[in-house]
Amino acid sequence: MLSLRPTLFVAGVAVLLATVLCVINVSPPAQAADSTALEAEAMTIQPAASGSVFNDSSASTGRALGMWANSTATATLSLPAVVKVVVRAKGQRCQGMPTMVVGIDGTMVGTTTVNATTWTDYATTVNIPAGSHAVTVAYTNDARSLLCDRNLLVDKLTFVAGGPTTPPGTPGSISLGAVIPFTAADLTNAQRGQYENLGVGLFPQSQPAQSAYPAWPAAADAGARYEWRDIQPTDARTFNFAPIDNAIATAAAAGKRFHFRIMAFASCCRTSYPAATNVSVPDWLRAAPGATGNYVRNGITHVVPNWNHDGYLSAVENLVTALGNRYNKDERVAWFELSGYGDFSENHNAFMRDSLGVPGPAPANSVAALGYYSQYQDQYITKPSIARIVNATLRAFPDTRVLTTAQNAEIVKQAMRDSPVLSTTRRPVGVRADCLGVYEPPQTWAVNPYSQYVQGNDPIIPVLLERWRTAPVVTEWCNFAPDGNQAFFDKGVKDTVNFHVSMLSSTVPMYQGSTSMPSDLYQQWAKANKFSGYRYAMTAASLPGTATAGSAVPLTVRWANFGSAPTYDAWQITYELRDAAGTVRRTVNSPLALQKLAAAQNYTDTTNEPTPQAADDTVSLSTTGLSAGVYNVAAKVVWNEHKAAGTNVVTNMPPMRLAQAGRDSTGGYPIGTVTVS
């Protein structure tokens, strides 16, 4: 989608508008200049307390609409065919300027940052037929402090007339399907939305107590975690890959890619412990002097690794190397999760501190003891030991993405910035975050104002907070709700959007038993899943009605991402020229990188949707050698995340499902038609 932009770029607007005029064959220019005005103060704002009409002598009627918080102004009016919408607006600065999103009939037609502090016109081209239409202006990124307050001020909207005179469906017409709203069923695509976690089927249908709710459509990803003793049970040289191999094969047969981690310690949650012993490491490693320690609580002996012991670290390096040798090139494996340190391999040891009575170094002593600052006494691994595990993992998986929890600041530094092995990896390291709904995905040390890292403006924090631009954030719902279930799911929605979460787990612990989920909480849960990850659609296009055989047909398509994050896999947009029989006669690949199409968010109201981001894509379709006739133009987005010299090559990944009506049997979406003569 074209961003709205000030009319000082009138030359650029004129060029584009001329193309649209040519495409849709509008009335003569004098008639196209006719317009309908809508004063913003006549619009209805929701929530009602988030805005008001104020006096401004420089506004068109001496009054304008002030939007003081995130809100949407709405009006329904009768319009002629419209080719351009112009919004007269200005902003008030507070740590940035306001974002304005304009919609018609539920579809976004333009978005921009309103940088002007005096009334300025922002324009976007559209193709709206005559009739009654619902028009919206949304303010989506409110901010305030003790010193300032960001606001969006809107004077009026002008709708410039000039619609198509040829009926829909004739050659040269645009036939984009309607954008599918979030109220519809979720879209199933790779590495977005709900994933199958730990063998638990999709929520809600996997839980009998939630039978009142419709089944979730599907998932394209599944994941598990394994105890180390099950993978290397006999000795340091022998591996049993069968549990992982079988899970990968099962997932692939169901059209899913797989991800996994290995655990050296898990503080819970078995129903029983043989020999009253909780042990995840192999017996041969437990027998190595100094590699592990025994801690007794409530009659259970917990076998915890000595995270800095050379014998233990060497065994981890050997394990990870073997896993990489087997799975790095396997295209059925989407990512590997950093393994070898902490409870559940989640890079923390709160259980040792809280339940076993063995706290880590105190904050004042942590740098001397560990080599980095630890504020919460839940860290035990030293900086050199971290480097060994991180480097071994990156060396083992250069072609497969690695994810890590952000619980340990030094692990984040090594895995995302400092490791010398990073230059050899194909994809940046992503984030695996537990406890969605309670803790922010970047974790307390990176976002809490009382954190020493935050107070000291540690430069790793922006690296972590901006990692969503290049690598996924994958989450798991928390198993407790300290502030109640409503606050839990409200926070889950907000954190999903603000921290650009791509995927959420099928495990929803509070509603996996006999307790049915209230409908209002289900709606919040569903929002979090639907808002997560990418959600692309084509929202506008321009295409000439006729072309001479042998000439190049210019095509411009406006792509929008309505989701919270981009895709991180490589997807190729391909435009197809099809004859009347549906045979593809010409194709052209788009240069547009969908991985870069996603908006920053400042999401505070769960009644709103994420701020979308848009971009225009322009290509030329060759007609050389084509017979005269009417040709259909379609778009298809094809998965292309293949590994160099990959094994078990994925060949059954369907084309991306767009948030767009009109998908055909090949996974393509119609754009329009052109007549070749």
Structure token digits, residue 487: 């606050």
Per-residue pLDDT tens over the stretch 234-251: 999 999 999 999 999 999
Q: Are strands 584-589 and 571-578 parallel, antiparallel or unpaired?
A: antiparallel
Contact status, residue 567 vs residue 593, Cβ threshold 8 Å: no
Q: What's the N-to-C CA distance of the chain in angstroms? A: 30
Whether residue 189 lies inside any domain: the answer is no
Q: What is the pLDDT of residues 638-670, one digit of tens each?
A: 999 999 999 999 999 999 999 999 999 999 999
Residue 181: cis peptide before it, omega within 30 degrees of 0: no
Q: Per the domain annotation, does 59 fall within a domain?
A: yes
In a domain, residue 478? The reply is no
DSSP structural state of residue 414: I
Q: At residue 4, does pLDDT exceed 50?
A: no
- Under a CB-based contact definition with an 8 Å cutoff, are residues 100 and 117 in contact? no
Top pLDDT among 82 and 503 is at: 503
48-51: long-range contacts, CB 8 A cutoff, minimum separation 24 = 51/139
Query: Does residue 610 sit within a domain?
Result: no
| Least confidently predicted of 164-173, 240-249, 437-446, 495-504 | 164-173
Give the pLDDT confidence score for residue 19 in this predicted structure: 29
Q: What is the pTM of this model?
A: 0.79
Q: Is residue 155 part of a domain?
A: yes
**CATH number of 68's domain:** 2.60.120.260
Number of independent structural domains in the chain: 1
Residue 76 lies in a domain: yes
The dihedral sign for the CA sequence 455, 457, 459, 465: positive
The CA-atom distances, in angstroms, between 662 and each of 237, 313, 594 are: 55, 54, 20
**622: enclosing H helix or E strand:** strand 613-622
Domain that holds residue 12: 1-165
CA dihedral 124, 127, 133, 138 (to 10 degrees): -30
- The tens digit of pLDDT for each residue in 427-460 reads 999 999 999 999 999 999 999 999 999 999 999 9
Residue 14 covered by a domain: yes
DSSP 399: S
Residue whose tokens read 């809280």: 354
Residue 484 is assigned to a structural domain of this protein:
no
Q: Residue 31 belongs to what H/E stretch?
A: helix 29-32
Q: Provide the pairing of β-strand 5-6 with 584-589.
A: unpaired
- What's the pLDDT at 172? 61
Say how far apart CA 203 and CA 219 lie, in whole Å: 10
